[in-house]
């Protein structure tokens, strides 16, 4: 079950974190994976790791905020069967201390980046009358999180785009879903804590881990397993849905 043999899958932000875990799992399940990341060296590392596991992958450097660059990438790939929009950035701040520069950065990567990639793959998927798009949303689009104004804005937009794409292309054989993870222990999180809480890294890591009722952060691989299911043929009846994967954060944090 959950095999992806013969399928082409593009995973953005797959040089590290959740995207990297997805790329590894997809390749293990038989897909040809296009490892898309703004950091070409990181993409190359992911590909080499996959090839050592006898998987098939191609490293592709791309800045998802630039539509022309994204279009060029998917033209060269000649379309994909699966798109996973995992590239993203975060920010700490409320509306008062979020600068315009911060706001635009979150919008450009988390919102426009998703738009750019979806816009690039839809024509190919329409032509082949099939395709799956999986977007990375967040618990931040389900509940109010303190000091996550711009981040919550961006992930709320991802959720809205997911519903819209699912509705508009349901008769073209295209499915579109999103998942809403709580905190996941990735190099991104480690860097985030180091930048925003210098000198209190261990304390903040433990505090953020305990904020999930389950008592820890997720592992990237745990997120990848849900993404694999939603992108597989076994999930062919699922579209227009958001799946929390949050250690009980949304429903049990009261």
Among all residues, which ones are annotated catalytic?
Answer: 151
DSSP SS3 for 77: helix
Q: How far is CA 95 from CA 33, 88, 145, 164, 171, in A?
A: 38, 20, 12, 27, 40
26 and 6 Cβ atoms separated by less than 8 Å: no
Tokens of 59: 């490293």
Enumerate helices (H) and strands (E) in the chain, giving the number of each.
10, 7
Length of the chain: 254
Backbone angles phi, psi at 8, to 5 degrees: -105, 130
Give the contacts of 188 (CB within 8 A, at least 6 positions apart). Answer: 16, 17, 90
Cα separation, 27 vs 30, whole angstroms: 5
Tokens of 126: 């329409």
Q: How far is CA 143 from CA 54, 149, 178, in A?
A: 41, 12, 16
């Amino acid at each position: 079950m959950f095999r992806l043999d013969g399928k082409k899958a593009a995973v953005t932000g797959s040089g590290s974190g959740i995207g990297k875990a997805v790329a590894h799992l997809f390749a293990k399940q038989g897909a040809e994976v296009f490892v898309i990341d703004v950091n070409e060296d990181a993409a190359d590392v992911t590909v080499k790791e996959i090839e050592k596991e006898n998987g098939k992958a191609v490293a592709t450097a791309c800045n998802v905020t630039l539509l022309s660059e994204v279009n060029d990438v998917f033209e060269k790939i000649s379309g994909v069967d699966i798109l996973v929009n995992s590239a993203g950035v975060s920010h700490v701040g409320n509306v008062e201390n979020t600068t315009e520069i911060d706001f635009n950065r979150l919008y450009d990567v988390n919102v426009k980046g998703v738009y750019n990639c979806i816009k690039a793959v839809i024509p190919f998927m329409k032509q082949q009358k099939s395709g799956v798009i999986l977007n990375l949303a967040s618990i931040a689009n389900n509940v109010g999180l303190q000091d996550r104004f711009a981040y919550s804005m961006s992930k709320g937009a991802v959720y809205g785009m997911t519903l819209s794409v699912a509705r508009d292309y349901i008769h073209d054989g295209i499915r579109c879903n999103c998942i809403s993870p709580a905190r996941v222990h990735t190099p991104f999180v480690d860097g985030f804590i180091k930048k925003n809480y210098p000198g209190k890294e261990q304390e903040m890591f433990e505090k953020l881990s305990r904020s999930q009722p389950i008592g820890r952060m997720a592992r990237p691989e745990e997120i990848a397993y849900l993404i694999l299911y939603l992108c597989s043929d076994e999930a062919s009846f699922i579209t227009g849905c958001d799946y929390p994967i949050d250690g009980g954060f949304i429903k049990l944090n009261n």
